[in-house]
Structure 1
């Protein structure tokens, strides 16, 4: 499960006590809500389906996808029994059909066991990115929201890059490397910072 509201508050209060910019940002937009997902196959499957599409489009595709699977999104064998044409009828591209099949095969075969991912974050990311269609960002999002790993830092995320500079009162958008370097002093609370960055981004969008 992802980071709880109490975990987020404790981590952000710790950082705000030593970083005035965080304290000011918390005063502006408040604490972020929990972003918790279930551990396992269905959550990572949903992550793949949501790649490179809007939130609204992802929700629409997922609903059609569930219908194609007869509502059974927890058993990879259900997906593997469907033809490519059936899966594409839900709105999946040929590439994403290949990706969801790859994930289902890894889980069905037992090669991927969500209960036995490496404890080390980088090793867990490596295990997940070994699956076709799972890049570093998708692996990080899964580990943060479904496993609640406290120090996951998705430095390649555009909103995180933008908001970290905005929160710190800097101009422009840092690169992924710069974003990763900026966060070194925030260990082991970088996961809470990422959740707060998204929260801050949405709050700023509502003001515009």
Structure 2
């Protein structure tokens, strides 16, 4: 069952790459290897605080490095605002977190204990979510973009400031230089309602580029 916010997206999610290729043939090189877009529904059990903590940990890290730290944290402590509020930044740093990430997680816990309610966050629109989360120290638009895409499974997030998306788009379109965020913003207008999938395929294109090397 589709649980995303776009009805049109639900209708095409299984064949979204084919739909993307109809709009922009440059993506056809990914059609055979990645025929199915995997981000199509919220998990049965969803903890917004834990999901945000994991997203914060992933900031500026490779997937493998981030998963190592996430696993270490989960094995060592309870990931809830009450417990996080009782430990200090230095204890969080023992699990591999930077000073800034440890502080951000502490600030997030304090915000929830101070009244920020995330229990219905999946019912809010993107602007409401972005406005509430970016008030917290250390949480910027990239973190919100990743949370929306990978945790809340919003179908139309377009992270134009993400280096991987920029490089993937550059490779797919054989551009001499990376597109600027403004260039990407304009290019993304061709894909209303499915830009999360377009970003995901840009990352896949970049992965293929790495394998070729």
How does the TM-score come out when normalised to structure 1?
A: 0.84
TM-superposed deviation, 1:101? 0.5
CA contact (8 A) 1:29 1:203 kept: no
Change (3 A) 1:16 1:47: same
Inter-partner Cα distance in structure 2 for 1:129 and 1:115: 17
Instruction: Indicate the residue corresponding to 1:127 in structure 2.
Output: 132
Aligned residues: 204
Question: Which of 25, 30, 36 is equivalent to 2:34?
Answer: 30
Instruction: Indicate the residue corresponding to 2:176 in structure 1.
Output: 171
Instruction: Indicate the residue corresponding to 2:26 in structure 1.
Output: 21
Instruction: Indicate the residue corresponding to 1:154 in structure 2.
Output: 159
Change (3 A) 1:163 1:85: closer
Inter-partner Cα distance in structure 1 for 2:30 and 2:13: 12
CA contact (8 A) 1:149 1:191 kept: yes
Change (3 A) 1:64 1:148: closer
Correspondence 1:87 to 2:92: yes
TM-superposed deviation, 1:130? 1.4
Q: Which moved more, 1:148-157 or 1:195-204?
A: 195-204
Give matches, 1:45-60, under 5 Å. Answer: 45-60=53-68
How does the TM-score come out when normalised to structure 2?
A: 0.82
Inter-partner Cα distance in structure 1 for 2:73 and 2:104: 14
Change (3 A) 1:109 1:133: same
CA contact (8 A) 1:137 1:154 kept: yes
| Deviation by residue 1:68-110 (Cα, 9 ceiling, x = unmatched) | 41xx22x211111213332222222332221111111222333
| Deviation by residue 1:21-48 (Cα, 9 ceiling, x = unmatched) | 22x2234543355257745111110111
Where do 5+ consecutive residues of structure 2 fail to align? none
Where do 5+ consecutive residues of structure 1 fail to align? none
RMSD between aligned alpha carbons? 2.7
Question: Which of 79, 102, 121 is equivalent to 2:107?
Answer: 102
Q: Which moved more, 1:102-111 or 1:9-18?
A: 9-18
Question: Which of 57, 74, 86 is equivalent to 1:66?
Answer: 74
Correspondence 1:116 to 2:121: yes
Inter-partner Cα distance in structure 2 for 1:93 and 1:205: 27
